[in-house]
Structure 1
Amino acid sequence: MTQGAHIQLTEQEEAICQLLDQTCAYIHRERPELPEVDSAQRSGDGSQPCEARIAGGWVRDKLLARESDDLDIALSTLTGNAFALYLKHYLSSESFASSPLARSRYFSDRFSDMGRIGKIAANPEQSKSLETATARVLGLSLDFVNLRKETYDPGSRIPTMTFGTPKEDAERRDITINSLLYNVHTREVEDHTGLGLQDLAAGLIRTPLPPLTTFLDDPLRVLRCVRFSSRFAYQLHPSIIRCLTGTSTTGASLDDTDASSTQIASSDDPRVSARDSQGVESGRNQLRDALVSKVSRERFGIEVDKMIKGPHPLLALFLLHRLELFPLVFHPPPGAGKLHVASSGAAKPKVGEPEPDSVALNAARLLDAMMHVKALVDGSPVNQSVPMDTLSIGDVVHTAPRSDLSRAFSAVPTSPIPRAVFEALPYDLLYSWSSSSLTAEERRRLWISVSLLPLRHLMYEEKKNKHAWAGESVIANGLKMGTKTLKEPVASLHRCLELLPLGRRVLSQGQTGEESETLDRLLNLPPGLSVKSRLGLLLRSPHVTNGLLSLRPQPALLLSFISELLDLWRQSEFDPDTSTLAPLQEQAVQLAQDYSRFWQLIQQWSLVERAEEKIVLDGNAVTACLGCHPRLISQIQVFVLAWQYDQDSIGWGAEEECARWLKSEWEKGGLVSFEQRPAPIPVKGDKGKKAEKKKEPANVQVEKEGEGERRKRQKSE
């Protein structure tokens, strides 16, 4: 056990440590009898005093000078629930009331009471082998659990959980830097693996036991290794890479021939019998099967969400790819059904496959470069170890990662975007795409969106005869993330990958013909509208601007720009890892200039600010003005919005002015031709109502059938 590291406690943490220490002494001295605690929740005969240690993340973060308010309390002779009950009992006892601690400022206010104890039962089927309890004490969240040891009976693959020593418990944790313990009685950091403090100083993610043994105990630890590696920009130990991929690292700074690097399972682990290369492959397959069968999709989603929200999401995505986990995370889960190509018009849809991971990874590199304004230094292949440039545009200044991050990022290619591309984009648009301008939720959605780009053209059957984009299946079923917070917004961003590039070409470059007709069809626009009104209605699309889903045009434009850059690469068969960017730089700059013109039109007419402008004439006003059939209101309101956007601004008297224009157009046969107008619904009480119904039943029926067909067509579009 390595010692010597020192933790500086806050006053609040000092009070917690004193409380835990005194509770252990009280239990041993007074031996209180609680009806909820039986012998099954104790270890041994009770002659040994219970010891409490703070374990895991809190110890790691304190040593890294990071704040943490989530404490895991590891107990030597009691289960977590039993100790929590004793703690609550001690806080209400005369012994505590007479102690100096009870009179301290942390226990003298009304917030000092211990919160409700939440008991979490063990669930071995989901790799949760320990009974734990949670409670809030002095405003901090405390999780209580006993020190554990797992043993395997001969011929059995199911572990038996028993009380363990601090060393046995430390060896059964996920990674060495999370296996450190802080003894509340001695106030010392304990490193029972002998590797935790060393790996913390070296910036290394390593499992205490050989990785396959650690991962089979709880397969979710595979994703946790990726999350912690990307969170701290620490290097993965070669043994983890070999365990997941069957191959060794190349160019690693650690000695991959070392026994600790090549051994992937404990010699006494009955779950993996072979120790040769075939055993590695067998263990790898067993681990991947366990990830799918034993880990809930909610736990997948929680870990992935933490990676995406962390400081280095790009590194997380590259690590998932390096460990061959990317399809397991970002493809539809087993049972989602066959995927088919969205554009297939055949009666029997064409079965499709996701595109390679490289599509998402290249998009992620572009997103990271755009959000942090990182430009390629020169025209060399982007996988070369060139230092990242510092680019200053206005007050947006970004620099290269600190030197302590460089090793972890050494496998991640540098920015694939030449400086000239940034210089071709207007400052205000570039700033709106920066990490500091985008909200945390917008950044989260963009990272998920680029991760799902390999599924861009694939659909799945959500319900019988109802199909949806395959990415929605990943979010809803594969990661179990929120519908309103993630699934619907990301699905809208996906729709913008068609809408915005098409709108850019048609409205800012004057493309006509089929592309112009397609844009109007997608937006349900009538022909003949002005560029300004069509652009306003494009930004008003609920997929581009949507207050309920917190959607703005700027993130959608960023994703569209990235998608079009990728299309440039694809059309030119450009590989950013092996080729130079010089031949494509002119095209990339031209694309940036096209987006610049598109954005300048939007800004010239203040269409972002007007995207959620209230319509000047609502449905009742349109009916009162024209006396038309209610069925036509939504169709006519498109013209109202177009008129509205064609005005420089909407002020006092706009309703009357719009109503006069609308009535004039209507009377001339505009908006909706005379032949397409259903007969107005008679006013209630009209004597001619019954006669009218009898007189024109066939015509009315034809109108109803025609409208039904039109609605079906619009819905399919």
Structure 2
Amino acid sequence: MRIASSAHRFFSFQNPPHFLSIAKPSLLPSLHRGIQFKKTNSTLHYKFLGFSHRLRAMSTTTENPTSLPTVQVRDSIDLTDKERRIFDRLLEVLRHFSLQTQLRVAGGWVRDKLLGRDCYDIDIAIDNMLGKEFCEKVNEYLSSKGEEAHGIGVIQCNPDQSKHLETARMRLYDIWIDVVNLRCEDYSENSRIPTMRFGTAEEDAYRRDLTINSLFYNINTSSVEDFTGRGIADLKSGKIVTPLPPKETFLDDPLRVLRALRFGARFGFTLDAELKKAASDDDVKAAIADKISRERVGHEIDLMVSGSQPITAISYISDLSLFWVVFSLPPEIDPPTYQEFESPDRSCVAYMDAAWNLMHLIGCSTFNDEQRRLGLYTTLFLPLRSSTYKDNKSKEVPVVNYIFRNSLKLKASNAETVIRVHNATEEFVSLIPLILSDNEDIKIAEVDWGRGVLDVPVASKLRIKAGLLLRKIKDFWRVALLASVLLYPTNIDDTKEASAEQFKLEKRSQTFKRVENAILELGLEKTWERKPLVDGKDIKSVLQLKDGPLVGEWQKKVVQWQLAYPSGTSEECFDWMRQTHSKRARVE
């Protein structure tokens, strides 16, 4: 990755994908085969789906800081009109009550404004009262001026989950502001939970996660304050460093590990060597697993995956041996099952890397934000798609379901979508050669059309199969196609180096576009939104049936008939139903 010197800073896409080529193509290998890993030097060899693959081991070793261009940092902060109005109003509150309070905007807002970026996340630190008390003063002032007071929300501290500060929140000029007191933390010898007290701005700055986030903008004096003496320098040189020794900082709040990696990826900054060492320390790993809530972990991971550099961020997690700490596995799974593999996490990252590059080759506009986000999760967990465990009811449950719901505490619907797409890949991979085939006389005996598919011409069978698949995954069919294209064999020369790597994804992007165009030409886009010509009531009336499973079978057949005959009418469907039912009755 290279960083462009610009106030707003732009980033290049990832390097040509660290992906694989397939030596022996086959129509449809079993998609439930296991993964075996063997690492030699810088190349990771593995067998997947019965093929030989070669993956150049991903390297996210940070570059030599001297090779990085200086980041352009502004000398002062330019306020927007709304920011100026908010800050002026807060200063009016100080004057009205003769408060000797220093108001400082902390952290990310200061960093982003110095980089010339817009930021609407205003966190204000105050030195001599609690945030709730100050917000109440703001409302008291507004009332005295005949203006409407605003609601105040309070987020309580939770030391057990490394949330040490009570935060007050209110809205001014349609912007949410958070208000907290400056803090200093005193630790006893036998506890990692600190005793909180009001601190100085300098003490608070040193308790921050990163030096680039330890800067303050003093509203009273309209000036930037750098109490660690490193914040601006590290921002200009593009370094991710903690104000205090990194292990101490991470044990204080282990979530800071993930924040450091996220900011490093987001800005393309260099991770400090001591920071990386501390991040992979066993004590810190244990603290990540035990001390912070899974909701907070999931939120950070989601910000990474939704961000501009998801592969870099997740690669850092893998490189620092944090992958299975973050994406923790069910306790029912015996760890040696995973330890027998050399680097299964690298395989996960490699698929995600390939998907990210493939998305850009295809065109990012092909996927909306949610499809892009869940598409990256889908491919990240592709190697785990067939792994299951038994829940407390002895039911086989996908491991991916556990990761989403328990390890990351993300929405259940996210897990359901990814698992649904995973389940669709096997069927999609089987369809790709049929859709791409120029031979209209495909031998039916060689194709598993599935049980119960109507006896219609091959072209209609193909439309039925594709249509039924799209009805299962709906708006995420392109995500399923993307994942399937990564699994689908391609006849690529495996003897070439870097240029061939890019050519392989070019080939896969062509496959994606050909299949996508074929599906669109078949008129299957939004096919799941098409209402059945015949409903259950019609079926019972026409065929003289009573309620029961047979009605459900006919409803499925009607969907297939509509897919086979997209221009068919309800009357034609009724005629077909009567004829088919009559033949069936004669046979029985």
TM range (shorter): 0.7 to 0.9
1:605–1:648 CA contact under 8 A, matched in 2: no
Compared CA separation, residues 362 and 635, structure 1 to 2 (3 A): same
| Deviation at residue 464 of structure 1 after TM alignment | 0.7
Alignment deviations for residues 195-230 of structure 1 (CA, whole Å, 9 cap, x no partner): 111121122211111111111111011111111122
Counterparts of 1:351 and 1:151, CA distance in 2: 40
2:453–2:560 CA contact under 8 A, matched in 1: no
1:54–1:182 CA contact under 8 A, matched in 2: yes
1:616 and 2:533 aligned: yes
What is the aligned residue count?
Answer: 510
Compared CA separation, residues 494 and 192, structure 1 to 2 (3 A): same
Compared CA separation, residues 339 and 444, structure 1 to 2 (3 A): farther
2:143–2:149 CA contact under 8 A, matched in 1: no
Counterparts of 1:130 and 1:462, CA distance in 2: 37
| Deviation at residue 180 of structure 1 after TM alignment | 0.6
Corresponding residue for residue 59 of structure 2: none
Secondary structure, in 3 states, of the residue corresponding to 1:544? helix
1:306 and 2:298 aligned: no
1:150 and 2:185 aligned: yes
1:113–1:137 CA contact under 8 A, matched in 2: no
Corresponding residue for residue 11 of structure 1: 81
Corresponding residue for residue 474 of structure 1: 403
Instruction: Give the AA of the match of 1:59.
Output: V
Compared CA separation, residues 140 and 581, structure 1 to 2 (3 A): closer
**Greater relative CO, 1 or 2 (CA 8 Å, sep 6+):** 2
2:454–2:560 CA contact under 8 A, matched in 1: no
Secondary structure, in 3 states, of the residue corresponding to 2:352? helix
Instruction: Give the AA of the match of 1:166.
Output: A
Corresponding residue for residue 71 of structure 1: 122
| Deviation at residue 243 of structure 1 after TM alignment | 1.4
| Deviation at residue 506 of structure 1 after TM alignment | 5.2
Counterparts of 1:512 and 1:66, CA distance in 2: 59
Q: 2:462 aligns with which of 526, 532, 535?
A: 535
2:431–2:466 CA contact under 8 A, matched in 1: no
| Deviation at residue 582 of structure 1 after TM alignment | 7.7
Pairwise mapping of residues 45-56 of structure 1 onto structure 2 (< 5 A)? 49-56=100-107
Counterparts of 2:283 and 2:115, CA distance in 1: 35
| Deviation at residue 85 of structure 1 after TM alignment | 1.8
Corresponding residue for residue 133 of structure 1: 168
Pairwise mapping of residues 385-404 of structure 1 onto structure 2 (< 5 A)? none
Corresponding residue for residue 366 of structure 1: 354
1:656 and 2:571 aligned: yes
2:470–2:527 CA contact under 8 A, matched in 1: no
| Deviation at residue 299 of structure 1 after TM alignment | 0.6
Alignment deviations for residues 309-342 of structure 1 (CA, whole Å, 9 cap, x no partner): 1111111111111222122223425x4x22799x
| Deviation at residue 23 of structure 1 after TM alignment | 2.4
1:602 and 2:528 aligned: no
Q: 1:435 aligns with which of 359, 364, 373?
A: 364
**CA RMSD after TM alignment:** 3.1
Instruction: Give the AA of the match of 1:118.
Output: G
Corresponding residue for residue 169 of structure 1: 204
Compared CA separation, residues 627 and 470, structure 1 to 2 (3 A): same
Counterparts of 2:485 and 2:545, CA distance in 1: 43
1:122–1:129 CA contact under 8 A, matched in 2: yes
TM-score calculated relative to the size of structure 1: 0.65
1:20 and 2:71 aligned: no
Counterparts of 1:63 and 1:583, CA distance in 2: 42
| Deviation at residue 604 of structure 1 after TM alignment | 3.5
Compared CA separation, residues 465 and 353, structure 1 to 2 (3 A): farther
1:637 and 2:552 aligned: no
Corresponding residue for residue 544 of structure 2: 627
1:62 and 2:97 aligned: no
| Deviation at residue 508 of structure 1 after TM alignment | 5.0
Counterparts of 1:551 and 1:319, CA distance in 2: 31
2:453–2:461 CA contact under 8 A, matched in 1: no
Counterparts of 1:223 and 1:673, CA distance in 2: 68
Instruction: Give the AA of the match of 1:602.
Output: I
Counterparts of 1:236 and 1:317, CA distance in 2: 14
Corresponding residue for residue 487 of structure 2: 563
Compared CA separation, residues 644 and 212, structure 1 to 2 (3 A): same
| Deviation at residue 302 of structure 1 after TM alignment | 0.7
Secondary structure, in 3 states, of the residue corresponding to 1:537? helix
1:122–1:128 CA contact under 8 A, matched in 2: yes
Q: 1:317 aligns with which of 314, 318, 327?
A: 314
Corresponding residue for residue 491 of structure 1: 419
Alignment deviations for residues 462-500 of structure 1 (CA, whole Å, 9 cap, x no partner): 44132221101111111111122x111111111122110
Corresponding residue for residue 502 of structure 1: 430
Secondary structure, in 3 states, of the residue corresponding to 2:221? coil
1:115–1:135 CA contact under 8 A, matched in 2: yes
TM-score calculated relative to the size of structure 2: 0.79
What's the % identity of the aligned pairs?
34
Counterparts of 1:328 and 1:466, CA distance in 2: 25
Instruction: Give the AA of the match of 1:544.
Output: L
Counterparts of 2:335 and 2:573, CA distance in 1: 47
Alignment deviations for residues 559-596 of structure 1 (CA, whole Å, 9 cap, x no partner): 1111336x999xx9x7x9xx726889998787677666
Pairwise mapping of residues 157-556 of structure 1 onto structure 2 (< 5 A)? 157-245=192-280, 284-332=281-329, 335=331, 337-338=332-333, 356-373=344-361, 430=362, 434-484=363-413, 486-505=414-433, 509=437, 510=442, 516-517=447-448, 520-521=450-451, 525-526=452-453, 528-541=455-468, 544-545=470-471, 551-556=475-480
Compared CA separation, residues 221 and 340, structure 1 to 2 (3 A): closer
Alignment deviations for residues 88-122 of structure 1 (CA, whole Å, 9 cap, x no partner): 222223xxx3xxxx9xxxxxxxxx63421112222
Counterparts of 1:200 and 1:499, CA distance in 2: 49
Counterparts of 2:126 and 2:436, CA distance in 1: 67
1:668 and 2:583 aligned: yes
Instruction: Give the AA of the match of 1:664.
Output: Q
Compared CA separation, residues 289 and 508, structure 1 to 2 (3 A): same
Instruction: Give the AA of the match of 1:606.
Output: G
Structure 2 stretches of 5 or more lacking a match? 1-72
Counterparts of 1:353 and 1:625, CA distance in 2: 60
Instruction: Give the AA of the match of 2:470.
Output: V
Instruction: Give the AA of the match of 1:60.
Output: R
Compared CA separation, residues 530 and 589, structure 1 to 2 (3 A): farther
1:24–1:52 CA contact under 8 A, matched in 2: no
Corresponding residue for residue 426 of structure 1: none
Secondary structure, in 3 states, of the residue corresponding to 1:436? helix
Counterparts of 2:502 and 2:207, CA distance in 1: 52
2:485–2:511 CA contact under 8 A, matched in 1: no
2:139–2:149 CA contact under 8 A, matched in 1: yes
Corresponding residue for residue 345 of structure 1: none
Corresponding residue for residue 679 of structure 1: none
Counterparts of 1:586 and 1:90, CA distance in 2: 66
Instruction: Give the AA of the match of 1:198.
Output: A
1:80–1:145 CA contact under 8 A, matched in 2: yes
| Deviation at residue 238 of structure 1 after TM alignment | 1.5
Structure 1 stretches of 5 or more lacking a match? 30-48, 103-111, 246-283, 342-349, 374-429, 676-717
2:432–2:515 CA contact under 8 A, matched in 1: yes
Secondary structure, in 3 states, of the residue corresponding to 1:133? strand
1:364–1:450 CA contact under 8 A, matched in 2: yes
1:114–1:135 CA contact under 8 A, matched in 2: no
Secondary structure, in 3 states, of the residue corresponding to 1:372? helix
2:371–2:476 CA contact under 8 A, matched in 1: no
Q: Which moved more, 1:308-317 or 1:323-332?
A: 323-332
Counterparts of 2:182 and 2:260, CA distance in 1: 22
Compared CA separation, residues 328 and 619, structure 1 to 2 (3 A): same
Instruction: Give the AA of the match of 2:428.
Output: L
Secondary structure, in 3 states, of the residue corresponding to 1:632? helix
Corresponding residue for residue 69 of structure 2: none
Compared CA separation, residues 362 and 186, structure 1 to 2 (3 A): same
Instruction: Give the AA of the match of 1:624.
Output: S
